[in-house]
Amino acid sequence: MHGDADIASIGALVADPGRARILLALGDGRALPASVLADEAGVAASTASAHLSRLVKGGMLKVERHGRHRYFRLSGPEVGELIEALARISPPAPVRSLKQGSKAHAVRFARTCYDHLAGMLGTKLMEGLLEQNLLAGGDGVFDPEAARDDRLAAPGYDHDYRLTPAGIKDLKAFGIDFDSLPARRPLIRYCVDWSEQRHHLAGSLGAAIATRMIELGWVRKAGRSRALHVSDEGFTGLREQFGVELTPTNGH
C-alpha cells in the first residue's frame, strides 16, 4: 500500500526556469533533441542534460534514440494537460530580450495546442463560429467566477458545444470530411486557452480544421516553436468564411 500523491516532486521538476522552458517547448507533444532544448532553455548543454535526465527519471519525459541524437518528448497526454493547467494560472514571464519578446508575442497570437489551433487565432475562430451560429452551446468565455455558484465545479467541463445544421453545411464546404474523422474520439471538445483565457476548439473537429487550414496554406508552422504564421490568404479566408476579424497587428 502506498501513501498520498507526492505532488511536490513533480512541482520541484517544474520549479526550475530552465526545465520549465523545456517543458513549454515540448508542450504540444513534439520530440526535440537535447541540443535544441538546451538552446531553448538558455543554458549550457551540460546543464540541460542534467535537467533532461531529471525530467525523464521523474516520469514527465521519455527519450527516443535516433542516431547520435536523443529526442525527448512528453511521456503522455496527462503531462501536456498538466502544463496547460499550470500555464493557465501562471503570471506572465518577464521578457528577457527583444527576440524573446516578439517570439512570445507570436506564440500568443497563433499557436498549436496538441493538434488544434490556439492563441488569439484559436479563440477568435471559436468566437466566429459561435457568432455565425455554426456552433452553439456556450459563449466561448472562461469564467472562474461562474463556476463558484455550486462551490468548485468540475474543471473545464461547463459547456456542451454542438454543431448546428448550418455549421455542418459550412464546414463541409470548407473541406472537412466528417465521414473520415475517427469514431472513438469526440467530435467537439474545448480547451481553456491559457494566453487568452477563453475557449478554443479541440476534439477531432478542431484537429480537422487545423489540418485543413495548413492544407489550404492559411497557416504554417513558424520555425521550431509552437507558433504559427498566418498568411494573407489566411486572414482573408478567416474573415470571409468565419467572420473572424484578425489583423497581423492586433496581437498585443
| Site for DNA, residues 40 to 79, rule: CB under 7 A | 43-54, 67-70
User: Of 10-18, 76-84, 106-114, 213-221, which part binds DNA (CB under 7 A)?
Assistant: 10-18
- Which residues within the stretch 155-174 sit at the binding site for a second copy (CB under 8 A)? 155-160
Identify the H or E element spanning 202: strand 199-202
10 binding DNA? (CB under 7 A): no
Measured distance CA(93)–CA(21) in Å, rounded: 11
C-alpha cell at 152: 468548485
Closer to DNA by Cβ: residue 51 or 200: 51
From a second copy, DNA, none, interface partner of 95 (C-beta below 5 to 8 A by class)? a second copy
> Would the CA dihedral through 50, 55, 196, 143 be positive or negative?
negative
- Count CA atoms within 13 Å of residue 235 on its CB side: 11
From a second copy, DNA, none, interface partner of 105 (C-beta below 5 to 8 A by class)? a second copy
What Rg value do the Cα atoms of the chain yield, rounded? 19
- Which residues within the stretch 7-26 sit at the binding site for a second copy (CB under 8 A)? 7-17, 19-21, 23-24
Please name the residues in contact with 86: beta carbons below 8 A apart, sequence gap of 6 or more. Answer: 14
From a second copy, DNA, none, interface partner of 51 (C-beta below 5 to 8 A by class)? DNA
11 binding DNA? (CB under 7 A): no
Q: How far is CA 47 from CA 16, 63, 251, in A?
A: 12, 17, 34
CB of 83 to a second copy, least distance (A): 7
18 binding DNA? (CB under 7 A): yes
Grid cell 458545444 is found at: 161
> Could you list the residues that contact DNA (CB under 7 A)?
12, 15-19, 33-35, 43-54, 67-70
